[in-house]
Amino acid sequence: MFLKTLAGWAALLSAANAAFPVVDTAQGKVRGTASEYRSNVTVYKGIPFAAPPTGELRFKPPTSPKSHDGVLDATKFGPQCMQTSSGSAGIFYTGSDQMSEDCLYLNIWTPTYDDDEDLKSKNLPVYFWIYGGRYEMGSGDVKTYDGSGLAIKDVIVVTVNYRVGAFGYFAHPELSAESAHNSSGNYGTLDQIAGLKWVHENIANFGGNPNQIVTGGQSAGSASSLIMAYSPLSRKYIAGAISESGALSPHDPNTASIAVSYRQKAEAENFGVKLFKQLNVTTPAQLRNLSRIWTWSPPEWRPVIDGWVLKQKYGQLLRDNNHADVPIMTGFNKDEGVSDYNTTEYKTLYTQVFQNFSSEFFKLYPGDSDAQATNSSNTWKRDMSRVTSWKYAADWVAGGAGTNVYTYFFTRAPQEDHSGGAYHGAELWYTFNNIPYADYTANLTWPAKDYAIADRMSDYWVNFIRSGNPNGDGLPKWEPSTQEAKKIMYLGNTWGMESIAPNAVVDFLMDWFSTLYEW
């Protein structure tokens, strides 16, 4: 009886799998499965887009994947790339310790159609998502990035794994000497580009439009999304870029301390030389034989201006219009980086930051009591996030770009953590339309307002992915940013265009920016 029951379940499972279209790729056929969160969505998990970067391929650009016979069972996510443990599950992490150097896999969510020919005819827009994590951690199977909430709105979503930490961003003169391009240290970014190229070449068979691929990312993923527009290796594959937390003015000093910045080649290689000594290795071959490289935890790993993947600093790229001339959508969240200060801490810190500008700063942002110091610090950070997004847009247009930049300021505190306000990453619940399907907190009830915000936010994102313009029927008007109109779109608790900051604040910050290093 047991064997008959088992055989029956096996037959049902086989029939269920057979119901999903078999899709042709350049490497062979793949079959997906039903989304666990949404009906009428198919997900193809763990599709290899490059060969495993192991052994002799460690610290080298990705190479093409091997072809496979039969039908690939694309029903399980591939392992995440080697990294320090992400700890418990959260908005950015799976909580899994399933890691491997063999990690270059991507995942595709599509609306479910009757057969593969029906699928091919759809020509849907494609959202290519690159996860954040300081270039040190993250993966494409994080529940927050589940693509089913956008697939039900007729967008194909792709998430891609890429090498992080030392495996992704280790540079050294000897590694550069091995390269035909005299380059090292951008292996993770090259993985992203390889994934993007694979999607461009194969996505039509999944119902996607290879000429309407929009990159997206948050934090370090945000920087990576923009790099896809900057790099000469990738810019031809994209029709737009979304940068959540976010595009900064090249003169914004915050660029130096967060993952959107980069390293010059000499700096990156010198750092690699020091690590060679620490590890007691003298050749790349010895480095490739080490087993615990991913535990290195130096200051943030970052992309490298190597003359191949990245040719110029960001400010110069904007001035020269040396990037894909595609629409950009970017912004920040209201409570990113806010913190409490007492009067002494506040005045000491901001005197150091603003130096000759500090007396004018304290006139605009006084801190004569602890409460006032905290309020002024947080007001300044919020003003800065709006002004720096607008300044990026102004520089984009001033450099000669003919496309629009849409900037936003997100204000909603998610239900799962009201205490953090609209924290770093809070918008992801809403932009992916994933309430509560990607929830990692048990027994949490979200208010109806959050569902409504998610529906509207994701509509803006879907419209931009589809056309390069977030506006659509029934949505409050979102105007592109311009040099003249110093406004930004508020999203979340309120909806509409508002001033980026008082004129005196904008003038002060522009004067201060003009004296700072340009990234």
Question: Which residues belong to the active site?
Answer: 219
Backbone conformation region of residue 450, classed left if phi is above 0, alpha if psi is from -120 to 50, else beta:
alpha
How far the first Cα of the chain sits from its last, in Å, is 70
The CA distance from 468 to 211, in Å, is 12
Residues 6 or more apart in contact with residue 41 via CB below 8 angstroms: 34, 35, 109, 110, 111, 112, 147, 148, 151, 152
Radius of gyration of the chain (CA): 23
The CA distance from 245 to 340, in Å, is 21
DSSP-derived 3-state class of residue 105: strand
What are 301's two structure tokens?
């790993």
Minimal CA–CA distance to 173: which of 261, 62, 304?
A: 304
The CA distance from 511 to 488, in Å, is 21
DSSP-derived 3-state class of residue 500: coil
Residues 6 or more apart in contact with residue 268 via CB below 8 angstroms: 169, 171, 184, 185, 304
For 30, the enclosing helix (H) or strand (E) is strand 28-31
What are 16's two structure tokens?
């269920």
Backbone phi, then psi, for 197, in 5-degree steps?
A: -65, -40
Residue pointed to by tokens 């479910």: 112
